[in-house]
Amino acid sequence: MTQDETTITVLAPADSPPPGLERIEARASVRQATDGDSLAQHLPGSDILLVTDFRTAALAEAWPQADRLQWIHATSAGVDQILFDELRASAVTLTNARGFFDRAIAEYVLGVILAFAKDTRANIVHQQRHEWRHRDTETILDKKVLVVGAGSIGHAIGSLCRNAGMQVSGVARSARAGDQVFDRIHATSDLPTQLPQADFVVIAAPLSDSTRGLFDAQAFAAMQPHARLINIGRGPIVDTKALLQALDDGQIAGAALDVFEQEPLPSNHPLWDYENVLISAHMAGDFIGWREALIDQFLANLERWQQGKPLHNVVNK
């Protein structure tokens, strides 16, 4: 496949086209789409679709117009928003940004663990009030971390936590032996028996039929009252009403949430007002320069595609 034969449609929000678009245009013919209507207009004749808007439903709407599509690349690790039944059944190759955000997300997780342990939020409040409040705080040495989702992100999280002196175990669809990061990897079906043993529970799993609503009232009831929940996976994995009840009842000591069932989180949502909840705007993996680096990753794969080489980060649809 030569440069002149390659047509790429870029699906991105109207207010944030990918930086470095000119570098893609130097390698192929590029069309830009921002919604379902414009995507339906540009998909016919396109070989490749680059999706930078991972929350979009536009692809499913415009799918009947994909007459020549061979490859879709998502600039996100999660692909649940764009992986609909027709795409699963098709021969179109799907790739993602697997591995790209791992280190940044792991740093976020370790950061919020330390923030909880050292009562950082209270320090900020006391500073704003000009109050001198001495307290004893926790140490994380030998604390137990349970990482739900033992993929590449989960391993990066586990690695940093282990290097910080914590004990780390994982949860995956099926049980398997431990490795250099996890003492042991338990099956999802064993989650109720593993939750009571954890000081910090980190959700790093993708959204699927088996993980949707996985953290419900029963799961929170199994956790220790001193334990904290950290979710950098997907919002719908946590039943928000059950989480609110668990916080109100003191079933868990707090939560750090980067993802939510509804995004953006409404300004009047009760989660904003909990002193033991840390909220960030789905940004755990977003480091300075990440948008440009994602285009670098895509261009490297594009070169492989144009040379007829196997693509990196192919998703098992």
Catalytic positions are 234, 263, 282
Contact 182, 169 (CB under 8 A): yes
Q: Are 123 and 100 a contacting pair, CB within 8 Å?
A: no
Question: Which of these, 57, 56, 1, lies nearest to 27 by C-alpha position?
Answer: 1
CB neighbourhood size of 18 (10 A): 21
Beta-strand runs (E) in 61-100: 71-74, 93-95
**Tokens 């209270």 -> residue:** 122
The helix (run of H) or strand (run of E) holding residue 40 is helix 36-42
State the virtual CA torsion across 206, 211, 215, 221 in degrees, nearest 10.
-130
Task: Yes or no: say if 47 and 69 are a contact pair by the CB < 8 Å rule.
Answer: yes
Q: What is the DSSP string of 182-199?
A: -SEEEEGGGHHHHGGG-S
Beta bridge partners of residue 279, listed in sequence order: 257
Nearest-10 crossing angle of helices 152-163, 102-117:
40
